[in-house]
Amino acid sequence: MLKDAVPLVRCRRALVIKLRHHGDVLLATPVLTALKAAAPQLEIDALVYDDTAPMLAAHPDLAQLHTVGRAWRGWGPLAHATAEWRLFSQLRARRYDLLVHLSEHPRGAWLARSLGARWRVAPRYADRGRLWSGSFSHRFALPATPRRHMVEWNLDALRRIGVQPAMEDRRVCFVPGAQAEASVQARLSASGLEPGAYLHLHPASRWRFKCWPADKVAALADRLAQDGSRIVFTAAPDREETQLVEDIVARMQAPSVNLAGQLSLKELGALAARARLFIGVDSMPMHLAAAMGVPVVALFGPSGEREWGPWSVAHEVVSSAHPCRPCGNDGCGGGKVSECLTTLEVEPVLAAARRLLEKGREVRAA
């Protein structure tokens, strides 16, 4: 029994803070689920950046969602201060008993000190000094080695305060919503596609050093089309990402459906949920597809699949045999091109996709 476990029965409200990118926020959703399961009476709020809010919106265990505007720093001093004060007032009015901070962001330490929560938990960082350690009542240990999945790393915050998450509470949760579901269904119908009758390929990433070359993606898509599969491409509404998909489509012999840059995050989740298989690189859409329960083929280069691989879903990770991976660098030598990806051939990716598709056919036939 943990001697300093937090008595959750005495808590009415909790605030979970995750000020990171989209995928990071999505992989933190099991914290909400596990915390609610441990304390059903608890109202759980979250604080994230405004652009990542769709990752948590409509989560069944979320009471209120608060956001920090990424653009605030670019505003004038008065407008910025007004926005900050409005957010702080909203948070203070909630009178939190528990604060769970899931990153190294300094805002979490400041809020831990100023909001008055009795119990406050955050990662243990040796280089943050007394200001950091004095801001929290509990600090959870970082892994001795970095090879621990981020879902479990986030859940370590709860383990530190006495909550042992059940396996069924560790699933990543994403709710597309009725509007996104209807929009995607209309798009599929317009393209002559039925749910479960297409493969979802998302070859782009905000980090180009994580991407597989366009010619190889095109070759893979053509081979899958020859097997009888329809192909649907997506990408973020970023010109560099949409150009990558356009380049891929131009190289293909088979027809495909290109929805790159046309979908919201909620629609992307709804589209992934209807696919027979998702194929992509280490990116938020890969985690989103896994959250929707879709089998995933994930291509990994410089990043580590043990920490960032598909979670709680049938999947195959395809990577090269380079002894230096995962290096965590933005390309070899920081040159923005990762040889562990550029040298990865089509055949192992195609074989992984075929294996997962065959398993899916076996499950449907059973």
Tens of pLDDT, residues 251-281: 999 999 999 999 999 999 999 999 999 999 9
Q: Is the pLDDT of residue 198 over 90?
A: yes
- Kindly tell me the number of DSSP H helices and DSSP E strands found in the chain: 14, 12
pTM of the entire structure? 0.95
Burial class from Cβ neighbours inside 10 Å (0-12, 13-18, 19+) for residue 133 reads middle
Cα–Cα distance, 92 to 23 (Å, whole number): 28
Do residues 91 and 108 make contact, with C-beta atoms less than 8 angstroms apart?
no
Q: What is the mean pLDDT of residues 62-71?
A: 98
Asked if the model's pLDDT at residue 366 lies above 80, the reply is no
Q: pLDDT band at 98, cuts 50/70/90?
A: very high
At 197, the pLDDT band (50, 70, 90 cuts) reads very high
Angstrom distance (rounded) from CA 353 to CA 357: 6
The backbone torsions φ and ψ at residue 100, rounded to the nearest 5 degrees and listed phi first, read -120, 110
Task: Quote the percentage of the chain above a pLDDT of 90.
Answer: 93
| Nearest-angstrom CA–CA distance, 171 and 18 | 17
Is 175's pLDDT higher than 90?
yes
DSSP class of residue 193 equals -
DSSP string, 151-173: HHHHHHHHHHTT----GGG-S--
Which residue segments constitute the domains of the chain, with CATH numbers given?
A: 8-169 (3.40.50.2000), 178-365 (3.40.50.2000)
